Chains A and B, each alone.
Chain A
């Protein structure tokens, strides 16, 4: 569908990737953990490695959960499929795009 308007109605997205330069927004979804009321939103360089992403952004955020265990085994999902990130892979190499949602579940 499209809007009905008087005259052309076409504006750029106010959240488009180019507004973040070499960075992008990345969402992290703490599945099966209601302590986190919503998914987190981070700004991260596309060239950031998974290891840096994890240590610099995710861990400090997630530590607010007293039961957070950084060493726990986890399943990650992106675009509906599981993936196993390596610490030296960049977000871009993993296939993370602007405003993607990475699912994360702890294996019990």
Chain B
């Protein structure tokens, strides 16, 4: 078939799929929109789950947080699979470059002892925190309502494994190329007094059946953990001549900035919803406040241990983050 096809202009009769035309009008849709909006099945589910006969396969009643239209939330990063993996491939390259550099200059063994301890005792065990966060995020990816939300959660779950693996690789590098320090970190996660509060927080989070509440509870802990380890201690490390800590921390802090973009956008969609906004706001305030109290109890000993090791005013930094969170809650209900 030798047609002169390139010269032909055909006006396509249609710009995109019906559900997108209904929502956005008759305009071409982006790949994010075509791959995300309205994808979750809506009606006529055939059977009830054997493991939860009270709910439908997809059911907004899996959470008290509701959106009148679940697709009023969209991911500000517009991640569908291709841009998501592309962005993560670049992040992974950056992490690998840092680790190579640390390795080539033997920088981790040249860390001040106290900072070496912060990494081995506190930072590397966070791989288990990340792994717990993966499970919680998977729950959201399955039981969340609406593809825009669950897609973010699924990628976040994958990110958490990526974070856990990155921290593990730091542990391996710190352990001189062996997995010894990882085994040690696991023992610390299970036994060290300073980490038990955080472990308890994560284990209790596994039992949270409401995915919206689980999301908030995880986010509150994340804000304290990331604020402490990858913002505050990052600064302190630079001041105290532990630059290689900071080289590692930068990757996790930039990941967290990316993560919080969608979480904040979801909070905003929740509280500004014309129908459910008031209830969501109440719920968000209460859940955040409760979670913050518990997370502070969980992280207090971690900050105390960091202060013992490097005297970096970690406890004060935790309080500062808590104040920021409290202010945000106050602004919600004001």
Contacts and interface: CB of A to CB of B under 8 A. Distances in A.
Contacts of B51: 5-6
B15 interface: no
A9 B55 CA distance: 11
Interface string A1-34: 0011111110100000000000000000000000
Contacts of A8: 53
A3 to B, nearest CB: 6
A9 B48 contact: yes
Interface string B190-212: 00000000000000000000000
A6 B54 CA distance: 10
A17 B51 CA distance: 29
Contacts of B1: none
B93 interface: no
Interface range on chain A (Cβ under 8 Å from partner)? under 10
Interface in B38-85: 48, 50-54
Contacts of A5: 50-51, 53
A3 B50 contact: yes
A11 B54 CA distance: 11
Interface in B139-174: none
A11 B50 contact: no
Interface residues of B, number: 6
Nearest to B54: A7
A11 B52 contact: no
A6 B48 contact: no
Interface in B257-308: none
A3 B53 CA distance: 12
A50 to B, nearest CB: 34
Nearest to B50: A5
Contacts of A9: 48, 50, 53
A35 B26 CA distance: 44
Nearest to B51: A6
A76 to B, nearest CB: 34
Contacts of B48: 9, 11
B58 to A, nearest CB: 17
Contacts of A6: 50-53
Nearest to A9: B53
Contacts of B53: 5-9, 11
Nearest to A3: B50
Contacts of A3: 50
Interface of A: 3-9, 11
9 closest A-B pairs by beta carbon, nearest first, are: A5-B50, A9-B53, A6-B51, A7-B53, A3-B50, A5-B53, A11-B48, A9-B50, A8-B53
16 contacts: A3-B50, A5-B50, A5-B51, A5-B53, A6-B50, A6-B51, A6-B52, A6-B53, A7-B52, A7-B53, A7-B54, A8-B53, A9-B48, A9-B50, A9-B53, A11-B48
Given A3-B50, A5-B51, A6-B50, 15 more contacts: A4-B50, A5-B50, A5-B53, A6-B51, A6-B52, A6-B53, A7-B52, A7-B53, A7-B54, A8-B53, A9-B48, A9-B50, A9-B53, A11-B48, A11-B53
